[in-house]
């Protein structure tokens, strides 16, 4: 008896929402294309996304300058 091949996982592209395969055959995973991957990278580079963190003493020192 042979084991069936695992079904590929389908995910929504984080940028455009299009359904795409999350598999080694998709070099842009989890994105659907190089364009969507580049848009996401650009958003991170422009600080459109931020990770919230409580202020540190270094932040307070810089604010006082």
Residues in the annotated binding site: 13, 16, 32, 36
- Residues annotated within the binding site for Zn(2+) are 13, 16, 32, 36
CA distance 16 to 22: 15
CA distance 60 to 16: 38
Which residue's structure tokens are 């042979």? 2
């Amino acid at each position: 008896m042979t084991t069936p091949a695992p079904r590929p996982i389908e995910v929504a592209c984080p940028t455009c929402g299009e359904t795409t395969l999350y598999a080694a055959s998709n070099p842009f995973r989890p994105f659907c294309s190089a364009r969507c991957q580049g848009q996401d990278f650009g958003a991170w580079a422009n600080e459109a996304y931020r990770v919230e963190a409580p202020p540190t003493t270094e932040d307070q020192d810089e604010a006082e300058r």
